[in-house]
């Protein structure tokens, strides 16, 4: 993406300094993915097409597959402030729209005696405090909605469904607000994890573009690891990537709930770059993040052995020790 203005959605829009500060700044290590480019092109192409507008995105995949990184990257590309809300099981409607709370200034509260703080005759002022969702919705931000699949209360999902209509609105205690034309919702959710449910059909139906987020290709894994860690030994990174890929496949095949993802790969590569044992740090950076169950660990180790990767890891150890000795 050579032209930094290529995907700006409202280039003439005036943002406050605070709003400008909420636009994500891409680090030098960020690499534009196929998913990012595809979403940017689709949204830009349809932005002024009325009912064909694309403004609700679903990123569904495993932990560490880059969902949040992609949501933030879209903020940078579109020039929209980025905010997020992380859903939880007992979320209620007040978490979606906000809450009416009593207002007492801190100075006044400090000067009140304990008995006065509980008086029933005191006239208390109340104020409505909008949620992060409402703020983004009303002001035209890019909102990442993390893990709506964990929400238990159907009423909360219904409120989200209504809000995600392209011409939707949210009923607040004080007013009815309309969806800002620049508002973009990016829903990020894991697949088939404990505590999650299938994404609500009505919510899924309001999404206009979906990306299936998996581990990237090995070449991209290596490229991103080099950018993130500064470690340039491609041979070592190649073997570490192979191990991550095999562990990920083995965990899925054996219904092991943990994940071998990009985060594990980055931290493992960084540890090796700093002189840690590749084989020893494999357990602390990768395997124990997947599982600490002895039987499951044996399955993972057996898979690595059968694919010749434990032998490759031993060879790495020998070569790294030789390099370290020669440098002394």
Residues 28, 225 contacting (CB under 8 angstroms): no
Task: Please state, in angstroms and rounded to a whole number, the distance separating the CA atoms of residues 96 and 133.
Answer: 6
pLDDT recorded at residue 309? 95
- Extract the residue ranges of the chain whose pLDDT is less than 70: 1-4, 104-123, 191-198, 325-328
Q: Which domains does the chain have, with CATH numbers?
A: 17-98+130-213 (3.40.50.300), 99-128 (no CATH), 218-327 (no CATH)
Closest CA to 82 of 34, 15, 130: 15
Residue 66's region, left for phi above 0, alpha for psi from -120 to 50, else beta, is: left
Residue 150 is given by DSSP the state G
pLDDT recorded at residue 9? 94
pLDDT recorded at residue 76? 96
pLDDT recorded at residue 319? 82
User: How many C-beta atoms surround the C-beta of residue 85 within 10 A?
Assistant: 18
User: How many C-beta atoms surround the C-beta of residue 265 within 10 A?
Assistant: 27
Closest CA to 239 of 327, 311, 153, 159: 311
pLDDT recorded at residue 42? 96
pLDDT recorded at residue 156? 86
DSSP string, 204-263: HHT-SEEEEE----HHHHHHHHHHHH----HHHHHHHHHHHHHHHHHHHHTT------HH
pLDDT recorded at residue 195? 47
pLDDT recorded at residue 217? 86
Count Cβ neighbours within 10 Å for each residue of 230-263 and write b for 16 or more, e otherwise: ebebeebbebbbbbbbbbbebbeeeebebbbbbb
pLDDT recorded at residue 318? 85
pLDDT recorded at residue 1? 45
> Taken in order 136, 140, 146, 148, is the CA torsion positive or negative?
positive
């Amino acid at each position: 993406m050579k032209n930094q203005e290529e995907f700006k959605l409202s280039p003439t829009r005036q943002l406050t300094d605070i709003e400008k500060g909420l636009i994500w700044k891409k680090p030098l290590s960020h690499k534009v993915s196929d998913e990012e480019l595809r979403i940017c092109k689709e949204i830009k192409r349809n932005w002024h097409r009325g009912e064909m507008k694309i403004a609700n995105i679903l990123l569904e995949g495993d932990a560490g597959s880059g969902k949040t990184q992609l949501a933030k990257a879209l903020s940078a590309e579109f020039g929209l402030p980025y905010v997020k809300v992380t859903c939880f099981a007992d979320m209620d409607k007040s978490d979606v729209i906000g809450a009416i709370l009593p207002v007492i200034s801190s100075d006044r509260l400090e000067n009140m005696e304990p008995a006065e703080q509980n008086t029933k005759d005191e006239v208390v002022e109340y104020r409505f405090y909008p949620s992060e969702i409402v703020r983004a919705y009303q002001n035209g931000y890019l909102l990442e909605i993390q893990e709506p699949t964990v929400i238990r209360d159907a009423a909360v999902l219904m409120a989200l469904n209504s809000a995600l209509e392209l011409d939707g609105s949210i009923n607040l205690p004080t007013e009815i607000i309309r969806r800002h034309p620049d508002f973009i919702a990016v829903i990020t959710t894991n697949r088939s994890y404990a505590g999650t449910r299938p994404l609500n059909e009505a919510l899924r139906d309001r999404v206009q573009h979906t990306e299936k987020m998996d581990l990237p290709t090995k070449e991209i894994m290596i490229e991103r690891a080099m950018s993130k860690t500064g470690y340039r030994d491609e041979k070592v990174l190649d073997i570490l990537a192979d191990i991550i890929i095999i562990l990920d496949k083995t965990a899925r095949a054996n219904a092991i709930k943990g994940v071998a993802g990009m985060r594990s790969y980055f931290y493992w590569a960084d540890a090796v770059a700093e002189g840690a044992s590749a084989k020893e740090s494999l357990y602390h950076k990768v395997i124990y993040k997947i599982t600490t169950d002895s039987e499951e660990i044996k399955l993972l180790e057996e898979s690595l052995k059968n694919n010749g990767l434990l032998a490759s890891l031993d060879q790495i150890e020998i070569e790294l020790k030789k390099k370290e000795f020669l440098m002394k």
